[in-house]
Amino acid sequence: KNEVEQSPQNLTAQEGEFITINCSYSVGISALHWLQQHPGGGIVSLFMLSSGKKKHGRLIATINIQEKHSSLHITASHPRDSAVYICAVNAGGTSYGKLTFGQGTILTVHP
């Protein structure tokens, strides 16, 4: 079993829909990251969080430390949101910033 599991692996939505991507992890962490990978391959960091909730535009990330679970929500989805969304964690105790990655969720938003 992977230390970081994402669901679903593939997600198709119509423009305007509310989207949720889930991430569960099995290790103690110091931080959790949500990343966005564009079709060309480049990766952008969306959120880094260790507790609670963060919001940026139409994106919302939440984390429940006790349940070892995080969600990424996209409100009013748009075709430009189509990308791979990756959850990654900094395992607690590592000082060099090592990230353990989920396998990614492929999101396709149709007009």
Partner 1 sequence: DGGITQSPKYLFRKEGQNVTLSCEQNLNHDAMYWYRQDPGQGLRLIYYSQIVNDFQKGDIAEGYSVSREKKESFPLTVTSAQKNPTAFYLCASRMGPQPQHFGDGTRLSIL
Interface with partner 1 (CB under 8 A): 2, 4, 31, 33, 35, 40-45, 48, 86, 88, 96-104
Of residues 19 and 102, the one with the C-beta less far from partner 1 = 102
At 54, is the secondary structure helix, strand, or coil?
Answer: strand
Of residues 82 and 103, the one with the C-beta less far from partner 1 = 103
Shortest gap between Cβ of 50 and partner 1 (angstroms)?
A: 10
Give the pair of three-digit tokens for residue 70.
């995080």
Give the pair of three-digit tokens for residue 97.
């910033």
Shortest gap between Cβ of 107 and partner 1 (angstroms)?
A: 16
- Identify the sign of the CA torsion 15, 12, 53, 94: negative
Shortest gap between Cβ of 76 and partner 1 (angstroms)?
A: 25
CA distance 35 to 91: 16
